[in-house]
Structure 1
Amino acid sequence: IDFDQDGSIEIPIAKRDKTDIPYPGISINPGYNPFEQEKTPSSRIPKSAQTDQKHFSRWEELYKGTQLLLKPENQDVAPQDSGWSPKTLEGSSFKKVLQLKQKYILSPVKSGLMLIDQRRAHERILFEQFMEVLKSESAASQQQLFPKTIELNAGDAELLKNISGDLLSLGFDIREFGKNTFVINGLPGMLAVSSPEVILEKLLEEYKNSPVDAKSKAREQVAASLAKASALNYGTELNQEEIIHLIDRLFACAKPNYTPDGKKVLTIFSLDEIEKLFNR
């Protein structure tokens, strides 16, 4: 700009040999829905599963040279062997997996074919994470935008009061709101549920049906009951990435073979057993 000129502004003229400057545009995704929750492998499993994926994908080295603990939490004697051991994992690859009837996960392993119950696997993962949270007492609470009110019978209301301390340590924010009535203001940040009152009712029911009565095991049973109430339901479809993510988390557990109440999580069909099925 030449300020010596009287009231006129010099505007440079674009040269023809230069590429024209394009008009700014807006990229629109016609399939975007702002109300649809994004589906990620971590949306249905604990958030801690988002830690170093390379670490979990190298489970062969993680378990090499270690001894597997087979005894479930509430049993004094180890149940029947499921056929799995750390050596079973060596040389295996979970890159090719199959979900059967939205209930089981099939994966080839070095010694044969491994069959995993996906709900029980998720239950084991949640239980061990809840126990870690109870020990550290550092759970984050996800506050509800619209708190839910739940009315219980006298027995369940008393039970909820008795275990409220452990629930608070897990991240629950539950307040009394009249006789046998409670308001759920917050849930553990690791849980992604749309009906907190349903989860709470399931937790109380599982706790009542638990065979464990010792006070020393009360916190453990709260974690086990919450894990069972929050685990993936049968009929839940998982994509390949979610399945591998679930398997990685399972074999990062201290006791991947069994649920806290002693139910088998996985089993191995050896090559010999498969051969016998074909009369070979």
Structure 2
Amino acid sequence: MSDIIQLLPDSVANQIAAGEVIQRPASVIKELVENAVDAGAKRIDVLVVDAGKTSIQVIDDGKGMSDTDARLAFERHATSKIRQADDLFSLHTMGFRGEALASIAAVAQVELKTRQATDDIGTSLSISGCKVLNQEPVACSVGSNFLIQNLFFNVPARRKFLKSNTTEMNNIMMAFERIVLVYPQIHFTFRSNDTELLNLRACGENFRQRIIDVFGKRLNQSLLPVGVDTTVCKIHGFIGKPEASKKKNAHQYFFVNGRYMKHPYFNKAVMTPFERLIPAGEQVPYFIYFDVPAEDIDVNIHPTKTEIKFENEQTIWQILMASVKESLGKFNDVPSIDFDTEGKPDIPVFNQQQTDDFGFAVPKVDFNPSYNPFNTNPRQPSVPSNWEQLYDGAAAQGDNDMQQPGDFDEAALFQTDEMPPAATAPSATIASALNGGTTIEDKSPAHYQYKGKYIMTAVKSGLMIIDQHRAHVRVLYDGYRKQLEDKVGNTQKMLFPEMIQFSPADNVVFQKIMPDMLTLGFDFSDLGGGSYAIGGIPSGLEGLNPISLVNDIVALASENTISVDEDINHTVALGLARDAAIPYGQVLNNKEMENLVNELFASANVNYAPDGKTIIAILSQTDIDHLF
């Protein structure tokens, strides 16, 4: 029997590795930019065409490579950062696997031009699908210039499952932001289809300035510094003020030793001090940088290295939460008392002497220090001596006359459930008096609101329970979808336009959905640099914060895959409906509940909200009877 176990060819092995390391164009940019940072570059330029599907170019002025290193860099497990196994536990660089370039070359066409400062001439290398096509000397600048073309050209299935250009571009910008926020001392530029989206000049170790350059000056007003230095770790960065909270997309970043990471456990440490300061479900922005001994963390537990294991996780959690609490307490927004009296009028101090500065006697005030106005009550009502006669004959009227409100036994109002039913039930006369002359049954409303969240209505099969917020979302969503289809929308002009600024990643999404938002009635003016003036909003949304409204729609669009007009229409309509819908906790009268129920049942889909969540639940009469 022949052997069945055999080694895979390098080309196949590289494609398998590429499935872990290179998932989309953003992965290519992440690996190449990280390598440029490790090469000591002071300037890194990134250029993409068609969201990286056509080409990706990364140019740096780092130390470059020799002709031999340039060739070896594309071999599997080739790296300049590891010499022995122990080095895996004391890494201080970004990339180290030695699979990135080999994986990229396995699924794309690569051209590399590189030169070291000590060499007079550089090296040009061309690779396509793991095959070296050409290597020759070339005149080029010091550093490295990678050109990646036709990503996944030889893996059609992978290329087929790439998302729309908007989605891929959004992922690229997110990956790029995670790197530039850590290295303010490096000059970064980013161009898409020959349009410059970012030009981040070096600003030393000024992390705050880099954050402002990426996300806009408006965020600067909402940042509070955080800082603590212990033997376990050093933490520095910024947290947002409570008023900067958002429902989604609040720019939350953790970095450890210059590497972006996701850490839900530490996220809880940051958000815990905000629990009583922001609405439930909202998030605050934060940019937290950890400096931890390399031997105390493991960055090799995930292929993309975004999940990191800490040795002293619980200790760091406590340190982080205490630091955030201190920052919130130290920089709270309570206005301080201004004791600066320069230029202020002189207010004389009270002089306790018998005469003032002009020689006039100070008038004396007589008062009784032991007087207490609560000791006596001069307005106590007097009791008439013949008060018993006022009630003569009251008992003789009997029970045939209708009782007046307030004449029934007060003890009946405070009887507990432990008393017999006959004793607790009010008489029909009392019920009539309490309800203005009509019986309780006649006065019973058609709907009942439970805890400001559910509308309860008796139906033939039992008790119908309606989620009021989801019901209103469904009604509004259907209306907005119809407006988009009919291309009809009314605009309510704003007296004072509001300015909104997007990060590069959000700006890409916003430009994609802006035409549909204009159709609904929004009015935008492009101010350049990712800033827009909101001059109007759809009619009927008066009272809503226009900036929060637009941000919520963009955040929802960022989370969803937007590839066709149908998806864009759905996302815009859903985001607008969610913000405009009746919130939980809003008290509705019976007429409002009746209108909402009628509008819901006129909808094409009564049972489910646009996001698939249940709107209506029926508690059957049988189940109710079983409870008793």
TM-score range, shorter chain: 0.5 to 0.7
For residues 566 and 466 of structure 2, the distance between their equivalents in structure 1, rounded to whole angstroms, comes to: 31
For 2:577, give the aligned amino acid.
A
Equivalent in the alignment of 2:447: 97
Q: State the Cα distance separating 1:235 from its structure 2 match.
A: 1.3
1:131 deviates by 0.7
Contact 1:199–1:229 (Cα < 8 Å) also in 2: yes
Tell me what 1:179 maps to.
529
Deviations 1:228-267 (A, max 9, x none): 2322211111111111111111111111111111100111
CA contact (8 A) 1:173 1:187 kept: yes
Give the aligned partner of residue 83 of structure 1: none
- Residue number in structure 2 paired with 1:13: none
Asked if 1:111 corresponds to 2:461, the answer is: yes
Cα separation, 2, equivalents of 1:274 and 1:97: 18
Which has the higher Rg, Structure 1 or Structure 2?
2
Looking at structure 2, the residues matched to 225 and 137 of structure 1 have their Cα atoms a distance apart, in angstroms, of: 18
Task: Give the residue type in structure 2 aligned to 1:261.
Answer: D
Which of 543, 565, 579 is the equivalent residue of 1:193?
Answer: 543
Counterpart Cα distance in 2 of 1:201 and 1:239: 31
Q: Which fold has the larger relative contact order, with Cα–Cα distance below 8 Å and residues 6 or more apart in sequence?
A: 1
Task: Determine whether 1:261 maps to 2:619.
Answer: no
Q: Distance in 2 between matches of 1:198 and 1:212?
A: 21
Cα deviation, residue 207, structure 1: 2.0
- For residue 190 of structure 1, report the CA deviation from its aligned partner: 3.1
Change (3 A) 1:229 1:159: same
Identity of aligned residues (%): 35
State the superposition RMSD in angstroms.
1.7
1:224 aligns with 2:560: no
| Paired letter, 1:201 | N
Q: Which residue of 1 aligns with 2:236?
A: none
Q: Which amino acid aligns with 2:493?
A: Q
Structure with the higher strand share, 1 or 2: 2
Tell me, yes or no, if structure 1 residue 136 matches structure 2 residue 490.
no
Shift of 1:95: 5.0
> Do 1:95 and 1:244's aligned partners in 2 also have CA atoms closer than 8 Å?
no
Corresponding position: 1:123 with 2:462: no
Q: 1:239 aligns with which of 578, 589, 598?
A: 589
CA distance in 2 between partners of 1:211 and 1:251 (Å): 30
Please report the TM-score for the alignment, with normalisation by the length of structure 1.
0.63
Amino acid of the residue matched to residue 255 of structure 1? N
Contact residue 170 and residue 188 of structure 1 kept, 8 A: yes
Cα offset, 1:273, TM superposition: 1.4
Give the stretch that moved more between structures: 248-257 or 120-129.
248-257
Query: Secondary structure of 1:165's partner?
Result: helix
CA contact (8 A) 2:447 2:455 kept: yes
Aligned partner of 1:149 among 479, 492, 499: 499
Give 1:127 shift. Answer: 0.4
Query: Aligned to 2:528, what secondary structure does the other structure show?
Result: coil
Equivalent residue number for residue 601 of structure 2: 251
Query: Where does residue 167 of structure 1 map in the other structure?
Result: 517
Question: 2:527 & 2:513 partners in 1: Cα distance?
Answer: 17
Q: Which amino acid aligns with 2:449?
A: Q
The unaligned stretches of length 5 or more in structure 2 are: 1-443
Work out whether 1:207 is the aligned partner of 2:557.
Answer: yes
Matches within 5 A, 1:264-275: 264-275=614-625
Q: Classify 1:107/1:212 alpha carbon distance in 2 versus 1 (closer, same or farther; 3 Å).
A: farther
Native 8 Å contact 2:556 2:571 kept in 1:
no
TM-score (norm 2): 0.29
CA displacement at 1:144 relative to structure 2: 0.7
Q: Is the 8 A contact 2:561 2:567 kept in 1?
A: no
CA distance 1:131–1:96, change in 2 (3 Å)? same
Distance 1:213-1:229 versus aligned 2 partners, 3 A rule: farther
Aligned to 1:158, the other structure's residue is in SS state helix
